[in-house]
A and B are shown apart, each in its own frame.
With several copies, the nearest count.
Chain A
Amino acid sequence: MTQRTLTYYGKLAELTGKSKEEITTEAHTVGALKDRLIDRYPALKKVSFKLAQGQAIADDKDLLTDTNIDVFPPFSGG
């Protein structure tokens, strides 16, 4: 079980009702953490979201290597 700090951006801060939270989870991969987040916030099932660690987007199969994880909705800059 590892404690990680999640930061929610844009629409996801609205859906989860928070911009930051600490959770303790047994997830070792990005994909497993995403599943865990969908359990926690069923609204996430209907939206596309990505995780980032170390200032880079992470693939589902990547191992979680950082305690700070960003949770991003689709980007809409420009």
Chain B
Amino acid sequence: MKANVKNIFVEGAIAPEKIAQSIAAHQAKTGIGGHCLFLGQVRADEVAGKTVTAIDFSAQREMANQVCHQIKEKAFAKYPIHCMHIYHSIGTVKTGELCFFVFVSAAHRTDLAQALDKIVQQIKAEAPIFGKEIFDDQSHQWKENKY
């Protein structure tokens, strides 16, 4: 793996405190005027009378990290972004907990929300991550992303 390819994976749920720390870490970067964050949260979807209680995430981690690195490089080339951070859960995340966190920062707001949306969409489409939805009766189904 290339030295500058970062590990996006976090064991279990992403804590709101981690998000606060990530935000606070940008206070020294006084060229930044705006941040946009996307957070994915596990929904208690109902399927045929059963309710999702958690998602168990697995991945081909090395490729997922590589793919996210490339998505970041392309976004930096396309948008005037100062900072970009991507985190995704691995393992079990309960309903209501956070499993995905994408964070972009720039001097100005223009295009920032659009850039965030594109990056989130690309990660969902291109990163080899797999979600297994666990129901309240311990049965499961494999999550499918709709675009």
On A, residues with C-beta under 8 Å from B are: 7, 9-11, 14, 52, 55-56, 70, 72-78
Given A11-B130, A72-B128, 6 other A-B residues pairs in contact with their CB atoms under 8 A? A11-B142, A75-B130, A77-B127, A77-B129, A78-B109, A78-B120
18 contacts between A and B (CB under 8 A): A9-B58, A9-B60, A10-B130, A14-B142, A52-B128, A55-B67, A70-B60, A70-B63, A73-B130, A74-B144, A75-B128, A75-B129, A76-B142, A76-B145, A77-B57, A77-B131, A78-B100, A78-B145
> Given that A9-B128, A9-B130, A72-B128 are contacting pairs, would A77 and B63 also be in contact in the complex, using a CB cutoff of 8 Å?
no
Nearest Cβ on chain A to B77's Cβ, whole angstroms: 19
Set B63, B126, B143: member contacting A76, Cβ < 8 A: B143
Q: Are A73 and B142 in contact (CB under 8 A)?
A: yes
Chain B: number of interface residues, binned into ranges:
20 to 34
On B, residues with C-beta under 8 Å from A are: 40, 57-60, 62-64, 66-67, 88, 99-100, 109, 120, 123-132, 142-145
Contacts of A77 in B (CB 8 A): 57, 59, 64, 88, 100, 123-124, 127, 129-131, 145
